[in-house]
Structure 1
Amino acid sequence: MEYRQLETFVVLSEELHFARAAERLYLSPGRVSQLVRALESAIGGRLFERTSRRVRLTPLGERFLADLRPSYEGVHGAVERAKAAARNVYGVLRVGFLGTPSALVTRAVCAFEGANPECAIELVEVPLADPFTKVRAGVVDVAFTLLPVEEPDLATGHALNNLRMKLALWKNHPLAARESIDVEELAEIPLVGLTGPAPRRWRELIRPLATPAGRPIPAASDVATSQEGITQVALNRGGMLFCTSTAAYHSKEDVIFVPVDGLPLSRLGLVWLRGGETGAIRAFREITVQNAEIVERSVNTSWTTPYGSPPG
């Protein structure tokens, strides 16, 4: 009986969907099915009931999961901590960033490598619609993320910035020439949202369901990345909310970014596996905090023109 078989069983029991489990495990659905069958063969009984419409645990599967989970979580945590420690021994820290390597990301990386020449940083893009899978899988050691994070297996630090939200609109949209719009006006604008395994709280940060007064906000299409969202906006298929720094990065001729009054500020922070913080992660977190105030001041004062583009 292999660790990978047990890992596949636990993930599939959580997802109850072969394709979603395969995505989390970075495997094909066929390989997930093979591992489950091998585990069932070793145990001598069916762990899942499978039909064309649903997947669910059998009574044997439910009992096995209850007995396995405490031991599995202990082993899983030990494996992830060992992998992180092994990477740091060889002087590599893998840092995830959300869609765009903003000034906060690049400044923190440069400052860390300058202070710690023995440890190099590898930057890894984290999909906007799937912010935590690569952290959980050990693909990255620490990642930039929107706060708050309400995931019991993940830890976060203090907020690194507090930035105003801007609405991306097609250049000829009736509101594109405004200096700002009120949050209640979002009830008249279909907003692009997120697909994929992003938690509900995360999706609602990107596309609120209603205004503060309770007016429902219409939904446009769902996307997986910032670039996909910007493309939908450029085609006049809806608006999309971005924080100020991300709006600056995506400034382009056919998309205008208009500040939104009345929305909560966007807060960026760092996330890592709970119990898996290494010395390298602590050092990176401390340097990022030191540089965050400088970057936030620069972003808030440099991107304030009505059209979301640099002054001058």
Structure 2
Amino acid sequence: MNVVDVNELTKKFGKFVALDRINLCIKEGEIYGFIGPNGAGKSTTIRVLLGMLRPTSGEAKIFGKDVWKNAVDIHKQIAYVPGDANLWPNLTGGEVIDIFLKMRGSGSQSKRNELIERFKLDPSKKCKEYSKGNRQKIALISAFASDAQMFILDEPTSGLDPLMERIFQECVLEAKEQGKSVLLSSHILSEVEKLCEKISIIREGKIIETGTLTQMRHLTRTNLTVQTKKPIESLALKGVFNLVKQNNDLTFQVDSEEIDGVIRYISDYGILKLESVPPTLEDLFMRHYEGVDGNSTGGESQ
């Protein structure tokens, strides 16, 4: 079952096209990564899904309901965490969490207390006294303590330290185990790589690649370090990039489809050491945002 269906969604602000016929499909129990630089269209997409912006054309549905026409009904089953939570300054963190749970009309008090402990939040402080990271904790606790079936998370770990990021990741995986769906918009590529089964990359309002990380890795390069008996004076082969000589080692990147030919070539020199590091999501991301010569070609803010 598809929890989110976005088809040919376009959003214009005057002549500026913020979203250009994008398509997204999120299944029940799926953690879906949505990545791109600032200004690429991530937050605009999320605002459309939340019923805050009306699409210019195309359609967007959550739980089979139109996100603009049925926003009130949809919000009963979703939890949203923004990248910077603005809270009531004179209320305590605990009071804010309770208000959010009461507004939803559902949620678990025991889960609330457990999450406060896990995120190491002092709920007695007033919100105006909290750091950005602690404000994010309040938003995350409020979301995960609810009985939402869909989580929309827009840069949710902004301001969190690495330990709290790990707690967040545990909460996302627990939600998945319960059959809940997650849309995770993030620029922290390692976070997306750890959590997400499927990923879409958005650039200048267009989805430029969608798939599982395994499916998308053919588009990027593997990192190789090689040491040979006979020195390799030149490695001017198709698909080889960023060659660096370090003592007796050669370190370089190679397009995945060219690995076989490169290995055959260097084997004639007598391989003493061969280390291979699989491409990361960051490698893939940068491949889309850099030209072949390594110069940046995009990623400007709106």
- What TM-score comes out, normalization by structure 2 length? 0.22
Over alpha carbons, which structure has the higher Rg? 2
- Structure number with the higher strand fraction is 2
- Structure number with the higher helix fraction is 1
- What TM-score comes out, normalization by structure 1 length? 0.22
